[in-house]
Each structure stands twice: as C-alpha cells, then as structure tokens.
Structure 1
C-alpha cells in the first residue's frame, strides 16, 4: 500500500480549492477555449470570434448580458457580443495572445461582465456634413456623406487620421474643430479629394477607374468596446452600359491597423473588374508592389500640410488572392482583380504614421506581409 503524507494531502486539497475558486467549480467553470497559432510569429491582441449558436450549445442558458471571458490566470478580459445589425446575438469576439506555434487557453463563463473601457469607436457625424468617422486605439478614418456632396464636394475615398495616443479622439476633434495641426495627439493631414484615398475599391472599366459619389445611407452594426462595424450604401452609378449599386461593410478591431472591407456591387450582368487604389503624391515616396501575393503599400513623402514636417503617412492594401496587376495609373497605385459577380468581395486596408508607431517603410511593408499571413492562417479555435 502506498501512503500519502498528510502535508502533501493538505496541499493537494488547498490547491484544488484554489483552482475551484479561480474557475468557479460547478457551472461557473464554463467552457474551455483553446486557441492555437499555426504561424512562426507571435499573435498579440488578435480577434477570436465564436458563433453564437455554437456557444449556446456549449454554455446552456447564456445570454448577451451574462457572458465573460477569462484568461488562463482567471482574469476577466474584454469581450463583445456581436449583433452585426441584427436583433439577436450573432457571435462573440475577444482578443487572444498566442505565441508562435503555440496555444493559449481561455474560459467562457456565465457571469455579468465588467464595464470595459472602449478601444474602438465610430459614429455618424451630422454636425460635420454627414461624415462617418471611426477609430481604434491606433488609427482613425472617415468617409463622406450626402450633406457634403450637396455642397459640390464629392468623394467616396477613404480618409486617414493619424494618431500618437491610444485615446479615442473623434468626439474631441469634431467638438473643437482643431485637428488639422498636431497638438500632441495626432492630426488630419491626409488629402483625399476626388480619389480613392487610402485604399477604397472601385469598378475598373475600359482602362479607367469609375468613381462613385458620397454614401447616401449609413448604419452602425456594432460599436465596441472591442470591434466597430458599419455599413455604407451608395446611390446607383453608371459603369459602362450598366447601372450598379455599391455597399461597403467596414470592420475595425482594437489593436489593429487594418480594416476588413466587404464590398458588394449589384446590377452586374456578366463580369466586373475592380481596383483598389491608393492616391499618390506629387513628391516621390516609396512603393511596394507584389501582385502575385496581393500586396501593395505606399510610404508617402514627408507631409508639410498646415505645418512643417508632419512625418510620413503609410497606407497599404492586402488581398488574399493574386492580383492581375499593380500599376501607377490615374494618380493612384492601383491593384486590379476580378469581382465575383453575385458574391461579396473582402480585402483589407491599413494605415500608419512615422510619428505614431510605424518608424520606417521597411517596418510598414513587414506589417503588411504579416497581416496577409495572419489572414491566410487564422487562429484555430476549439471549445470543450
């Protein structure tokens, strides 16, 4: 017979009790989620999304107001129930840290969540000519609406606001109107005009891009604290002999420089070629063109708008399939591909700033490359 030392036995009991307290023993032990990283690079603060139907099967009786995510240490981390514009929950999103070629364990439990500090934000801005502006703790953007078009200023390009703080700035900047000079937090020094700006998509017909007008309707689908998502609808416009409509759904997660953009064109009879475009400046910058891997990037020349040396802006586009061509045309760096008629088309655009965390063109191009790898090899999730 094997005898167990009473000290060891007591320690075992204490350890078990502590573990039970940490994970809640009984129903509060919840569901174990294992997140695996198949890549040889670390993944930090990367989104993990779990479908609501699957989650309900695993965690009976869960609701959108009684769900918490714990890390391996039993610490509650920010999460968000996504509705995607619907009345009922569609999925759960939280952000995982997983080392290269490794895995991390999280736990979903039925509890009332804390109030998390938002790291993303976006809204319709009627007080500034119907802008739609959105941001996270790293980047900011805006699109232009119908009130601005009524003044004669027409653009469906993507604007960039550069930031050097993790603060959410949209409301402050619109309230003060003082965002065209850097007061220590960032600024708006990106010129869009009648272009695609920072990576918008447009039909490409007869060797030319076909620009639509400002959006006519907007809808916020999810508004944080981890993810902002919204939809923009555009009025019909002429592409050759066809009149087509466009819808954009844009999603931005906390801690990411890259927006997921889902484009849908309707009214196409046969085929459609499209191009994502980055507007080029008159002074020389640095470009990165890798059509076979669907990557294009631009490191702008030094920006001196409204002041000397505003640093360098960086813009990039990531496709998950090869492109036909990346070329300098019509004042843009254009990446062309075929649009899947009757389906949606997804790609990614991102931005950076030499005074806000992107120090060089080399580091920016590396970020684009890593983003492509992450999207092609997403984190793998198992629930038990």
Structure 2
C-alpha cells in the first residue's frame, strides 16, 4: 500500500470514528405541544452506556448548539451506589426539537444552579417532612408529631394530609423558617419578611393531595407517616419516601414516593399499596376548608381545581391525574370540621400516580382563577404528552 492510500485509509477510519461518536453523543428532545415547556429531563443511565463505557461520570457534560453548558444531577434511586438517571433542564419552544451534545471534559466546570430543590426530615419540630423548590413548599407529619398530638401537646398534628407553605421567593426557606421557629413558634405563620408564610389549615382533611378510601360518604385515611427516607435533593429534583402503618378496614400498607422538580408547581406522588382485603378505590383529596372557595372538576381531562381566598390573597390548589383511572369526582361538603374535601375517586390499583400542587397570588405566578386553570390544563397535557427523547 502506498503512502497516499494509507493516508486515505487513516482519514476514512478517523471520519468513521468521529461520525460514530457524534451519533452516540447527541440528544434530541421534541415538544409536540402547542406551548413552550421548561422541564427537567430524565435520561436512564442505561441509555448512556455507549458513552459511559469510555468516559467517567464525573467528566460528563451537556451543552447546546450555542456551547452553553447545563447544570446536571445524577440520582441513585435504589441506594445501591450506582446512579440510575441523569437529569438536566430543557427549555423547548412549542412544536420544536432541541439538540444537545454530550461531551467528556473535566476542564469545563458544571454550571451551578442559582435555584434548587430540597427536602429533609425536621426533628426540631416533632418530625415533619418538608420539601420545596423555587416556587412552592410542602410538608407532611410524622409519628412523633402524632404521639404528641394524642397527648394533647399544643402545635402537634395528627394527619396524613399534605400541608402547603405559601412562598414568594425563589430561594430556599425550609431551614430558615424552622430555625426561626425554635425561638418563635409563630415565626413562619406570619408573612413579615416578604418571603411568604404558612396560613394553611390541614387538620384531618386531605390538605392538597392526601389520599384515602371513600366508602359510604366517608373517607378512611391513614395516620401520620412512620418512616422517611431521603433519596435525592439537588439542583433539579428532590425525591423521598414515606411509609405508613396499615390503615382502613382494608388493611392497606402504603409506601409513598414523592418528588418535586425545579420550576414546577406540582409534586409527583407515587403510592404503592398492599392490602389485606380488596379495596374499593383510592381517593385523592383537596380540603375545601369552610366551603367558601370554588371547586371545578374535569374528569375528561383529569384535572381538578380549587380556588380560595386565604387572608388577603387567593390560592389555587389542584390535582392532575390520568383520566383513564378516574371513576368519579365530587366536591363533598360536610358540617364536620376538616371533612369537606374535593375528592377524586380512582380505580383500585397497586400503584397510584398523580400530581398535586398550588400557586399563590402573591408569588406572582398567577393572578386569577383562569391563570391557575391554565397551569392545570398544561400539566394535564404534559402528563399525557411527555417530551420525546432520542439519543443518537
């Protein structure tokens, strides 16, 4: 073989290698909906094997066509020490496809996000479990709080309902508010710092997204969670699990996995069930408080709206679920405190997945009930039409 032929052969091989690497390291994400979407994208590590067999996870970077690099987050869901998913946030216009490139470059620093998600168990106030992102915050109540409530200790809560914290800052507030609570138990119940507060009454209602079994116009519910486990907290997604002692006449055992993504007004709830007896249904609820707000039910699209005034501003709460699993819905009003709830009755499956969330007028995210309904409508379409991800 002469030198020219050898040189051509080498060039051909190089070309093949470059093209092969390019084909393996390109991510295309398509938005099929009529509105733009700014969402956290999750890519299974198994889809990245061709890249990770040759490169380290620590060198992994993602950039767009303008050479802009993105914050990323790895998550190990099962705790085996091996990451299961890679997360990054994509902003894609309506009916458009964005292309991203995976590169291995330890010299490029992964950008830090100015915003974040966060969750933790809070032993300094009984044992709440609290979680937040840049838009919203929630909490649920643990077994110590239950024991204190049964003992009549003031400030404790016996409930498996979901509390919401009204925040109007994109910065984390959980640690700050609980630190203030240690010296002033009313610290986060007053909006004196311009960050928001917690005026939301849960009691034995479902709060925003608690569940139960609906039978004979009565809701059978669990008591407080008994164990918690933080799975992930980071710039793009926080994930944790709660377990409950058997509840209801059906002997339901429940493990609830909850996640919240950056930029979203909705937590994702995934409840896994086992039961001693055949369950009639699993029902998701939103408290109607004193029945002074407005409820709107949409079984066809799978979204459910409550709009109410709390103190001097309005709050929209909502549930979004796959309409195929819904049996019926009702705005159930009762004269018994905490028993008025918007109820979404679903078919009894071993796993129930739904989204529950809210928006506060003072946060600037919404101003009217229509604004809130639009967010719910979009969330229902997002669930039905996930972003299409192709790795080449």
2:131 aligned with 1:123: no
CA distance, structure 2, for counterparts of residue 361 and residue 62 of structure 1: 50
Q: Secondary structure at the match of 1:128?
A: coil
2:282 aligned with 1:274: yes
Deviates further, 223-232 or 193-202: 193-202
CA distance, structure 2, for counterparts of residue 150 and residue 294 of structure 1: 37
CA distance, structure 1, for counterparts of residue 261 and residue 220 of structure 2: 30
Alignment-derived partner of residue 367 in structure 1: 375
Match of 1:303 among 302, 310, 320: 310
Alignment-derived partner of residue 174 in structure 1: 178
1:274–1:339 CA contact under 8 A, matched in 2: yes
Deviates further, 284-293 or 94-103: 284-293
Q: What is the alpha-carbon root mean square deviation over aligned residues?
A: 2.0
Offset of residue 54 of structure 1:
1.4
Offset of residue 375 of structure 1:
1.0
> How many residue pairs get matched?
350
Q: Secondary structure at the match of 1:375?
A: helix
CA distance, structure 1, for counterparts of residue 262 and residue 52 of structure 2: 26
Q: Secondary structure at the match of 1:77?
A: coil
**CA offset digits 1:166-205 (Å, max 9, x no partner):** 1011000101122111120111111111111012122223
2:101 aligned with 1:101: no
Offset of residue 315 of structure 1:
0.6
2:134 aligned with 1:133: no
Alignment-derived partner of residue 335 in structure 1: 344
1:30–1:59 CA contact under 8 A, matched in 2: no
Which structure 2 segments of 5+ residues have no match? 1-17, 150-156, 182-186, 333-338
**CA offset digits 1:225-283 (Å, max 9, x no partner):** 1100000001112x23x322111100100000011100112124434301111001225
TM-score (norm 1): 0.87
Offset of residue 30 of structure 1:
7.3
CA distance, structure 2, for counterparts of residue 207 and residue 55 of structure 1: 50
1:273–1:336 CA contact under 8 A, matched in 2: yes
Which structure 1 segments of 5+ residues have no match? 1-23
**CA offset digits 1:96-116 (Å, max 9, x no partner):** 111111111111222345362
Q: Secondary structure at the match of 1:299?
A: strand
CA distance, structure 2, for counterparts of residue 246 and residue 292 of structure 1: 28
Match of 1:150 among 144, 147, 150: 147
CA distance, structure 2, for counterparts of residue 30 and residue 78 of structure 1: 21
TM-score (norm 2): 0.85
The ranges of structure 1 where at least 4 consecutive aligned residues each deviate by more than 6 angstroms after the TM superposition are 24-30
For residues 77 and 29 of structure 1, do their structure 2 counterparts lie closer, same or farther at Cα, with a shift above 3 Å needed? Answer: farther
**Equivalent residue runs for 1:212-291 within 5 Å:** 212-237=222-247, 239-240=248-249, 242-282=250-290, 284-291=292-299
**CA offset digits 1:31-88 (Å, max 9, x no partner):** 11010011111112x1211110111224433444222211221111111111114221
